Amino acid sequence: MSDLYRSALSARLAKLPPDISLDDSDEDEENDSLGSLPGSGMGPPAMPRTLKSLQKSKPKREPNPAFSPLSASSFFVEAVQVDVPSRHLDVRAYYTPPKFSGGTVMVCHHGAGYSGLSFACVAKEIADLSKGECGLLSVDARRHGKTTSTTENNMEDEDLSVEVLVEDFVEVVQAIFKDPSMATNLLLVGHSMGGSVITRACPILLEKKYKVGGVVVLDVVEGSALDALPHMHGLLNARPEGFDSVEEAVEWHVTTKAIRNPNSARVSIPGIIVSSNSSSLTTPPYIWRTPLRSTAPYWTSWFTGLSKQFLSARTARLLILAGTDRLDKELMIGQMQGKFQMEVVPGVGHMLHEDDPTKLAQILVDFWRRNERLTSRIGVKKVGDL
């Protein structure tokens, strides 16, 4: 982690004030956002503590229809539940298949605390840009979205270690594309935590004879992520515990710039909160589906070894970042050696695929075209091939 990033992180943390009431002088605090804080890879930003204390006494208000949920049916062709008995999971998957035989499917894994719907806007853009030649499959991980456990009494397995998530992902791919010899070409895309999952899943799928045309990691770098972990509990202390309505949850993500695209937030955020079913005055009506603090025991496992795994993937490699001050030493050396392609998306935060789905889709489609269609020509190598 660079000195510049370390200083910026410390300065941001120092700005979090004690629990006092807001007055006009606090407006800058309310409008400030940690959504663009680089490298943490840990999902939604914190909310200043002044706002959190204000939540406890604020009067309830009518939901704002400008932030009402949008249906996933406008972005995917179908939503399905995939039974994966070997993992004791009933997995929710959102799918837009390619329109033509021999097409490619981008298989996407979301970050911690989010769901497969975070790729909704990107899915629609990719279908349009590729004219249906490229499809997209996005899945909800265990303890996320609408994926549920099938164990006795529906008791969920709490384990979110990277090994478990990788096994889940591989089994879901096998359940959907049962015969590797007949399966379509796959391009693996993962955001943050999901980037670690798809990178580790790649060699397993290749060993099982699946055709993997590339791995794409979105806005996570091992060094920066691990350096940011000691600060995460302080940031999470400042997040809201819940919301009065789904609309309020969407609005919070937009106004704090956790997600800078209101349309994307309206389709993705309803999937990451659930009804608390509580009559207690101290419990909000809607709470986080996957409280990030509960995932703390697994943070280190998600990111340790990510750079090495990414650079050793036996396929094309693409790293897409929201800022340039994020490469660790191993990746900087790999980039100078031409081992992977890197793109930087301007004007976005950590949720770059939601903030600017059009730009992200263009990068992904260009990468797909280079590494799936042009490789049939003699002398053209995939990005990252030696």
Residue 192 near residue 221 (C-beta atoms within 8 A): no
Percent of the chain surpassing pLDDT 70? 79
CATH code: domain of residue 210: 3.40.50.1820
Cα 51 to Cα 19: distance, rounded to the nearest angstrom = 9
Rg (CA), the chain: 20
> Where is 139: in which H helix or E strand?
strand 134-139
Cα–Cα distances in angstroms (integers) from residue 251 to residues 74, 265, 279, 283, in the given order: 20, 8, 24, 19
| 24 pLDDT above the threshold of 50 | no
Helix axes 357-368, 120-129, angle to 10 degrees: 50
The pLDDT of residue 182 is above 50 = yes
**C-alpha pair distances (Å), 242 with each of 32, 42, 238, 278:** 20, 18, 12, 12
Helix (H) or strand (E) holding 342: strand 341-344
* Distance (Å) of CA 247 to CA 116, 260, 275, 355: 19, 15, 13, 18
The DSSP call for residue 48 is -
- Structure confidence by residue, pLDDT tens digits, 52-93: 444 455 667 789 999 999 999 999 999 999 999 999 999 999
Average pLDDT value over all residues in the chain: 84
Determine how many CB atoms are found less than 10 A away from the CB of residue 59.
Answer: 5
pLDDT at residue number 8: 40
Q: Which domain holds residue 226?
A: 1-386
Position 6 pLDDT exceeds 60: no
Name the residue with higher pLDDT: 5 or 76.
76
Closest to 42 measured CA to CA, from 294, 372, 371: 294
Residue showing tokens 């009506």: 285
Cβ(19)–Cβ(56) below 8 Å: no
pLDDT of residue 42: 55
Out of 151-160, 280-289, 369-378, which region has the weakest mean confidence (pLDDT)?
369-378
**Of residues 287, 277, 289, 294, the one with CA closest to residue 248:** 287
The sign one gets for the Cα dihedral 255, 36, 218, 357 is positive
Q: Answer whether 236's CB lies under 8 Å from 228's CB.
A: no
Q: Are 321 and 343 in contact (CB under 8 A)?
A: yes
Least confident of 91-105, 176-190, 212-226, 234-248: 234-248
> Token match 């999470």: residue?
236
Instruction: Mark residue 222 as left, alpha or beta (left: phi above 0; alpha: psi -120 to 50; beta: remaining).
Output: alpha
Q: Is 49 helix (H, G, I), strand (E, B) or coil?
A: helix
Place of tokens 């939604």: 44
Run of H or E including 89: strand 89-96
98 pLDDT more than 60: yes
pLDDT at 43 over 70: no
Whole-number pLDDT of residue 243: 95
Q: What is the pLDDT of residues 120-165, one digit of tens each?
A: 999 999 999 999 999 999 999 999 999 999 987 656 678 999 999 9
Total number of domains constituting the chain: 1
Residue 231 contacts residue 9 (beta carbons within 8 Å): yes
Q: What's the pLDDT at 12?
A: 39
Q: How large is the average pLDDT for residues 324-336?
A: 86
CA atoms of 336 and 89, how far apart (whole Å)? 42
Asked whether residue 3 carries a pLDDT value surpassing 70, the answer given is: no
Q: Is the model's pLDDT at 230 over the cut of 70?
A: yes
Query: Would you say residue 7 has pLDDT above 50?
Result: no
Cβ distance 371 to 316 under 8 Å?
yes
Active centre residues (catalytic)? 192, 219, 350
Q: Please, what's the b/e burial string for 21-34 (b: 16 or more CB within 10 A of its CB; e: otherwise)? A: eeeeebeeeeebbb
Q: Specify the pLDDT at position 279.
A: 79
Alpha helices per DSSP H over 40-161: 49-57, 120-129
Neighbours of 300 (CB within 10 A): 13
What length is written for the chain? 386
Confidence category of residue 302, pLDDT binned at 50, 70, 90? very high
Contact 317, 341 (CB under 8 A): yes
